[in-house]
Every structure is written in structure tokens, then in C-alpha cells.
A and B are shown apart, each in its own frame.
Chain A
């Protein structure tokens, strides 16, 4: 599903964010990307989503070489990838339901589809009763659920999550992880960057560790360190 071969990413020709990274993630896997700040976790995710292009090496996502993908095809690649952020990136002037519907609207899905899917996904993340609230009226955990609903509503093949529990307390994080686990069990490949030791150690999933841009460890059912 995701394959990196000898991928190097340098910024402005000097800062090395990722150095000769190689990894392969199969369909349906749940993978933690761990390492200290600045180790290249976010770059890894941004390369998969083609928000950035690799300086060297090949990246295959869902069977496509993202390095040679023409720019007009990028949106179609992104439709098969959901993205969840530490800071949620919800639109403050839209309600919960509108935020989720927005993701379908802007890729031109017909309205009947939107009307059917939005309540279903809000039900899945447990926010049916708050669909008319605005983001600022929700707790951090609830906002992250909206963000996950938005990322997942189009049933992507891959879900990328960049520190999704970074702003949440322990109890709330557990709830978010249950949700991501459930999404993973439905067949979606989940790649999550984190430095939440507790979560990684509890879940015991595959762990890819980065240190200063280098993949230093890749073990299935791994722990944080």
C-alpha cells in the first residue's frame, strides 16, 4: 500500500529531514511512526500525501509512483488518503456536520450521498447528537473525532495521522485510539506519527522508529523504545 525506497528529503539543499529511508507498509496494517521531534515523522507523512516531493528515491502509494504523478492527478491520490492533524484543522464557521460534509462537497459528491454518509460517520465517531454544534463548543477529543470523521467519510484506503493525541489527555487519547483501531479493522491502512509512549506500548503494533531522518528500527508488535 505504501512503499518507500531509498527516500531522501532535504530542505533548501542542507537540512536533511529524511535520509535513505526504506519501508513497506501492507494493506490493512496499523503502523506507528515514532521518534523525537524533528526526526522526520511529519516529512514521512507529507511525502506519502505528496504535499512534498522526495529529493531522491521512490515512493509508491496505492500502486502509484507519487514522484512522477502529474499534478492534476494529485487530488485523486489524496481522495484515497485521509489525513488527521494534532490541531484538528476544523473550519470554525461550519458546524460539525458541515465540516464533515465539506470534505464530500468539494470532491463533487452528489448531495444524496452526502446526506446519507454524514450522519452515518458521525454515528460511528459517536457525535450524532452534536452534529449542529460548532467546533469551539466541543472538547478537544470531540474535535479530533470530527476531524477523524472528515478524514474517513470518503472511505480512504489509507489514514495518515500526525500526532492525533498530541493535544489530548490520557483518557481522551484512549478513546481516539479505539476509534482509529476500529477504522483499521475495517480494512483501512493506518499510519500514525506519535511520541506518546503509553499508546504505542499498550497497542503493540508495528513500530517504525526514525532518528534524525534515518529509519533505525522497524519491528512488528513493537514498543516505543
Chain B
């Protein structure tokens, strides 16, 4: 058994090496297509996290200054308690805001360390009586003029921006990715086909002396699977680049306050990476399986 494993590995490596240019092309195509698949997933996840605060009917959030005076805070609370326009609200104090921040950026300890509870802005998450966009915009404007208020984030505007952005980008990426995944499968099929052609004589002898079909097929299927896995492995660093540069760019953006939540924990990036390895291996197996069943039968 050990001997067989060694045989398969040797044959696979020899074949990969003989076919180097096609092998590299196949691996790179897999890498590019899976990078796009992964980026699309990251952007979706980022958008979902960025808008997580706006769940359960919350339409706008009033962020107070971190050094808000207590009478300013009381004045805001007074309006919230008495105004018929406000259905309900939740107060997120500094400690809770800090806790939430820690959870959101649990995989970025350096970021968590850079803040302390006392610099976190406390906020009110507000469910208005009338969720109509014009009404929310008017309420937001009024709260924004109150003393002690740092800024007001409205769900309608911010969520629409983020969702629009993430949907469009991730759909475009996903479309390109699907096309490229198909291209990589075909390229792997061709590479394996070429490998089969290069070893036609050997295969003829193998069949003649009674090698089983699986014995003949396995090295070729391994070859295709290696294309897929290596391609996926190359796409993983690309994912971290997307996470650290592209998503981070949005987090630092001043234009849209909610993009600051546009972060995915490293754990999610790693999970996505594992999925990419699985998808890569699957692409390789499917491509090479088609090649061997089409060209290798008894």
C-alpha cells in the first residue's frame, strides 16, 4: 500500500513537471478565479457586519460626543422619552459600545488595544414610530442639531449605500468568478488530456499487462486535484490582501461612517480559505475526472 502511494505520487509529480507551462497556467487560473470568489464572499460578509447594528427596526443611531455633558445627554433622553415620533430606543453606553467594538474587531487586537471605554461615543439606537424615509431623514436632521451630538447615522442612507455597493461589487466578482471557475476546469481538463497524450504508450502497456482503470486514472486525477489545491493555496494570501487593504480602506473612509464596521474577523477569512481549498480541489477533480473518463477507457 505504501508502495502504491509512492508510485502515484511519483507519477503525478513527473507528469506535473513534464507539463510545466500548462500546469502553471491551470494553477494561476484557479488562483485568480478563487481570489474573486473569496473577495466576493468577504465583501458580502463585511456588508452584513457593517449593517448589523441596524437590525430589529432600528432606523437611525444618534452618536453622542465621547465627552458629552450630562445635561446634554439628559436633554436628548427627554426628547426620546416624550416625543410621539419615537417608538422605542436603546441606549448604548461607553462600556457597551466598547464591548461591541471588541467583539467586532476581536481578531484585530492591536485595534482593540488602541481604544479605551472612555473614548467610545455612547449612542442611542432609535426605532421611529414612522419608518418612512423622509420622516427618518427629518428626525435625523433634528437630532443632529442638538448640542452634544457627534453625528447621526440613518439606516436608510447608510444601509442603502453599503448594500448597493456590496451587492454590485460582489455580484460582479461572483459572475467573473463563475466564468473563470468554468475556464479553470476546462484548462485543467486540457492539461490532464495533454498529460494523458504524453503518456499514451505507457497507458497502452499498462492496459495490456492488466493495470486496473483506477490505477491508471489516479495519477491523472491527482494531477488535476493538485492544480486545484495549489491554485486555491495561492488565492489565500490574495484574500488576506483584500481583507487588509481593500476592506481596511473602507473602514478608514470618512465619507460613510458605517463603513467603519466594514471588517471581517481573520477567523472568517480562514474559513473562507478552507472553502476555497475545497472548491479548488473539486474543480481539479471534476476537470480531471472528465478527462480520464473521456480518454482513458478500456
Interface positions of A (Cβ within 8 A of B): 49, 71-72, 74-79, 81, 83, 89, 91-92, 102-103, 105-108, 110-111, 150-151, 154
For residue A42, give the distance in angstroms from its CB to the closest CB of chain B.
14
Q: List 24 A-B contacts (CB under 8 A).
A: A49-B208, A71-B213, A71-B298, A74-B298, A75-B207, A75-B211, A75-B212, A76-B210, A78-B209, A78-B210, A79-B209, A81-B210, A89-B204, A91-B201, A91-B205, A102-B202, A106-B206, A106-B211, A107-B209, A107-B211, A107-B212, A107-B215, A108-B215, A154-B209
Query: With A and B bound together, what is the CA distance between A89 and B202 in angstroms?
Result: 9
Q: Mark B178-210, 1 if CB is under 8 A from A, else 0.
A: 000000000000000000000001101111111
Q: Name the prevailing secondary structure of the B interface residues.
A: helix
Cα distance A63–B210 in the bound complex, in angstroms: 17
Contacts of B212 in A (CB 8 A): 72, 75, 107
A89 touching B205 in the complex, CB below 8 Å, given contacts A75-B213, A78-B210, A79-B210:
yes
| A110 engages B3 (CB within 8 Å) | yes
Cβ contacts under 8 Å, A76 to chain B: 210
**Chain A CB within 8 A of B7 CB:** yes
Given A71-B298, A89-B201, A91-B201, residue A108 in contact with residue B4 (CB < 8 A): yes
Total of A-B residue pairs, C-beta within 8 Å: 59
9 more A-B residue pairs beyond the given contacts A75-B213, A89-B204, A102-B202, with a C-beta to C-beta distance below 8 A: A71-B213, A78-B209, A79-B209, A83-B208, A83-B209, A105-B7, A107-B211, A107-B212, A111-B3
Closest A residue by C-beta to B203 = A106
- Least CB distance from A50 to B in Å reads 8
CA distance A106 to B217 in the complex (A): 12
The minimal Cβ–Cβ distance linking B96 to chain A, given in whole angstroms, is 66
Q: Determine how close the nearest CB of chain B comes to the CB of A143; give it in whole angstroms.
A: 14
One of B201, B209, B297, B298 near A106 (C-beta < 8 A): B209
**In the complex, how many angstroms separate the beta carbon of B51 from the nearest chain A beta carbon?**
55
Contact, CB under 8 Å: A77 / B7? no
**Residues of the B chain whose Cβ atoms lie less than 8 Å from the Cβ of A71:** 213, 297-298
In the bound complex, what is the Cα–Cα distance between A81 and B204 (angstroms)? 15
A81 to B202, CA, bound (A): 18
B201 cross-chain contacts in A, Cβ below 8 A: 89, 91-92
State A76–B7 Cα separation when bound (angstroms): 20
Closest to B14 in A: A93
Least Cβ–Cβ distance between B59 and chain A, in angstroms: 66
**Complex Cα spacing A74 to B208, Å:** 10
> Shortest beta-carbon distance, A101 to chain B, in Å?
11
**How far is B211's CA from A72's CA once the two chains are assembled, in angstroms?**
10
B46 vs chain A, min Cβ distance (A): 50
Query: B209 contacts which of A72, A74, A103, A111 (Cβ < 8 Å)?
Result: A103
- Residues of chain B lying within 8 A (CB to CB) of residue A77: 210
Interface pair A75/B205, CB less than 8 Å apart: no
A138 CB to closest chain B CB (Å) equals 17
Nearest CB in chain A: distance from B293 CB, A: 12
A193 to chain B, nearest CB (A): 16
B202 contacts A150, CB within 8 Å? no
How far apart are the CA atoms of A107 and B213 in the complex, in Å?
Answer: 11
Q: Are A106 and B3 in contact (CB under 8 A)?
A: no
Measured between beta carbons, the chain B residues less than 8 angstroms from A151 are 209
Residues of the B chain whose Cβ atoms lie less than 8 Å from the Cβ of A78: 207-210
A49: B residues at CB distance < 8 A: 208
A64, B207: Cα distance in complex, Å = 19
Is there contact, CB below 8 Å, between B209 and A150? yes
A89 CA / B3 CA spacing, docked (Å):
26
Q: Which residues on B sit within 8 Å (CB–CB) of A72?
A: 212-213
Contact A106 B204 (CB under 8 A): no
Give the top 9 A-B pairs by smallest Cβ distance, nearest first.
Answer: A79-B210, A78-B210, A106-B211, A103-B209, A75-B210, A75-B212, A106-B206, A83-B208, A71-B298
